[in-house]
Chain A
Amino acid sequence: MAVNPEEMEVRQDVVRREMSEQTFEAGTAIRQASLWRDAWRRFTHNKAAVISMVFFVILLLYVIIAPIVSPYDPNAVNFDIAYQSPNLHHFFGTDEFGRDLFIRTALGGRISIGIGFAGTLAIMIVGILYGSISGFVGGWLDNAMMRFLDALYGLPYLPFAIITLAIFGVVNFWTMVVALTIASWFTTARVMRGQIISLKENDYVRAARAIGARWHRILFRHLLPNTLGVAVVFIFLELPNVVLGEAFLSFLGLGINPPNASWGSLAQDGNEQYLSHPLLIVIPSLAICWLILTAFFVADGLRDALDPRSQAAA
């Protein structure tokens, strides 16, 4: 197997560091660290990132498990128990129709986070494709593709998403994903292009070229795997943006139709009666904050972990 020189260097560096850090007993094997294991080690040493990761997972578990174990029907109307404050039966209380908010918030989270992940995935695919083609091919194609991107930057985000939804004529999970993706893949594409271009200059790419590797081998074997770190960081950077975009659209009444509700539409419901029952808007909004904050700190930790060179500046 061809050894990636940069990785080799990092390995040696880590080994050297560990040698100096710990005293070895006779016979202990020197732990080999790959780039990813090393990144993992750095990530787990970052308290804020680990705590955020834990809270992020807790939110995911709540969203997945709560609807399964909850005894309540999320859409059952029962006016006798409308507007209950949080209690032992209804942890988050009930809304104007007596629906249990604990389960409705979890289901809303499934839609919000589901759209978030689907949108992020689509953004990554489009962005990596566009960016790597542009950066890898270079020349006039790169120029043209970047000019196109420049022009798209002029389009205001929310109106663009709204028009896309209007073209579809229906608002559901998938049209929402497409609308949010179309409005927000530019940054990822641009960053990926930059990555590919700077990686292309590496000696190991030249070496691969010199020994006659074909372009697809260079792209898939040497370039794309090395963008993985940045891509992982971008997943956690884009996720909150997509979730927030969906929340904004739903809040404006342009979101998914009732009785299905995302966090944004729950907040919109709550906004109509926030003076009498503030809890109805507080709970879905806090859920959104929770997601954005945890994803933000995870992204921060991942960036420091995967790109040690940036640590000095941070």
Chain B
Amino acid sequence: MLKFVVRRVLWTIPIILFVIFMTFWMMRAIKGSPFRRSDKAVPPAVLANLNRKFGLDKPWYVQYGRYVEDVAKLDLGPSLVLRNQGVNDIVKEHFPVSAELGGLAMLFAMIIGIPLGIVSALRVNSWLDYGGQFISNLGYAIPSFFTATLFIYFFAAKWRLFPTNGWDTPGSKVLPVIALGLFPLTYFARLVRGQMLETLQQDYVRTAKAKGLRWRRVVVSHVLRNSLIPAITAAGPILGGLVTGSFIIENIFAIPGIGRYYVTSVEGRDYSTVMGITVLLAILIIVANMFVDIMYGVLDPRTRDART
């Protein structure tokens, strides 16, 4: 058990190094120096100075090594555009907002999505099941910018129940959280329903039924337990979906989160910020996947060997 956990944790290190490496090379491949975008031509001496200050005159492996070292020290480097701010300051300012948005959306998705999937599977092919499936198909198909706009149009502008944008009062958080949580909700519902239907056909469920166990007991202790564990694996793709979704949602609701700042940074060619945020998001996803694998290995020992 311990060996499995240690191996899985150690394995994330080369992955993180590799992802930083990829990001590093991609950033270098982008044409144009960040210092060249002002209208006035920057004198060569100043440019050389700036390059030296940010270490851009060193060979790539030195730059890469230094960057990895900084990331290990939790320092994402200076921003190339904002004079007195480092990427760390930007992350500190904007990331908590995004984390709260994403966390609340995840919570919303689980609280509604998992029960929806369970009920759909237990009442398969009933109107409840069809209703649930209809909702989850809709949630899957409607792009999040459309749901968000509809929400604002009706709940904020027309009926004035919630503010149209911002992230300050509890009321202002309702619409973005629901808009962002809708996609993971349908993901959970679909996955849990599928898993439940599969489990319900297993022999041990039939055995439990045959030996006269109450149906409620069968569902709770045999079906639910074995169906919900695989749902954990959804956390990886869902986190990825939340990152993508938050870019859109933060933009529409004017939420000062990291996704919105990312788009601004790309447009402003602030590459060190872009790189810092990309690396941060990548590490987040990699570590989340690691936890998912470990948890899955603990709950279902059969998967341990296959997943390292």
Binding site for B on A (CB under 8 A): 150-151, 153-160, 162-164, 166-167, 169, 240, 244, 247-248, 251-254, 267, 271, 274-275, 278, 281-282, 285, 288-289, 292-293, 296, 313
Contact = CB atoms under 8 A, between A and B. Distances in A.
29 contacts: A150-B15, A151-B15, A154-B15, A154-B282, A154-B286, A156-B240, A158-B244, A163-B26, A163-B266, A163-B278, A166-B30, A167-B26, A167-B30, A169-B30, A169-B31, A244-B143, A248-B145, A248-B244, A251-B145, A252-B251, A253-B267, A254-B266, A271-B149, A271-B252, A274-B153, A275-B157, A285-B149, A289-B141, A293-B137
Nearest to A159: B278
B228 interface: no
B23 interface: yes
B146 A285 contact: yes
Contacts of B282: 154-156
Contacts of A151: 14-15, 18-19
B272 to A, nearest CB: 13
Chain A CB within 10 Å, residue with most, of B142, B145, B201, B263: B145
Contacts of A156: 240, 243-244, 278, 281-282, 285
A296 B140 contact: yes
Contacts of A166: 30, 266, 274
Contacts of B240: 156-157
A163 B267 CA distance: 11
A167 B289 contact: no
Contacts, number: 119
A296 B136 CA distance: 12
B298 interface: no
Please indicate which of the listed interface residues B141, B198, B262, B286 has the most CB atoms of chain A within 10 Å of its own CB. Answer: B141
Given A281-B146, A285-B143, 19 more contacts: A153-B285, A154-B282, A154-B286, A156-B278, A157-B243, A158-B247, A159-B277, A162-B266, A163-B23, A163-B278, A167-B29, A167-B31, A247-B143, A248-B248, A252-B247, A252-B248, A296-B137, A296-B140, A313-B197
Nearest to A300: B137
Nearest to A155: B282
Given A154-B285, A155-B22, A289 B146 contact: yes
Interface of B: 14-16, 18-19, 22-23, 26-27, 29-32, 137, 140-143, 145-146, 149, 152-153, 157, 197-198, 201, 236, 240, 243-244, 247-248, 251-252, 262-263, 266-267, 274, 277-278, 281-283, 285-286, 289
Contact of B141 (A163, A167, A296): A296
- The 3 A-B residue pairs with the shortest CB-CB distance, nearest first, are A285-B146, A154-B286, A292-B141
B141 A293 contact: yes
Contacts of A240: 141
A164 B263 CA distance: 14
A14 B32 CA distance: 63
A280 to B, nearest CB: 10
Nearest to B12: A154
A154 B146 contact: no
Contact of A159 (B18, B31, B201, B262): B262
Contacts of A293: 137, 141
- Indicate the member of A160, A166, A251, A282 with the most B CB atoms within 10 Å: A166
A150 B157 CA distance: 45
B27 A163 contact: yes
Nearest to A247: B143
Given A158-B244, A158-B247, A254 B140 contact: no
B266 A154 contact: no
Contacts of B277: 159
Contacts of A160: 278
A142 to B, nearest CB: 14
B8 to A, nearest CB: 12
A289 B139 CA distance: 10
Contact of B274 (A163, A244, A274, A281): A163
A309 B196 CA distance: 18
Contacts of B262: 159, 162
* Most chain B CB inside 10 Å of its own CB: which residue of A163, A164, A281: A163
Contacts of A154: 15-16, 19, 282-283, 285-286, 289
B202 to A, nearest CB: 11
Nearest to B32: A169
Contacts of A288: 143, 146
Contact of A278 (B27, B145, B153, B197): B153
Given A247-B143, A248-B247, A252-B248, A313 B263 contact: no
Contacts of A275: 153, 157
Contacts of B142: 285, 289
A28 to B, nearest CB: 36
Contacts of A155: 19, 22, 282, 285
Contacts of B281: 156, 159
Nearest to B29: A167
Contacts of A247: 143, 145
A20 to B, nearest CB: 25
Contacts of A271: 145, 149, 252
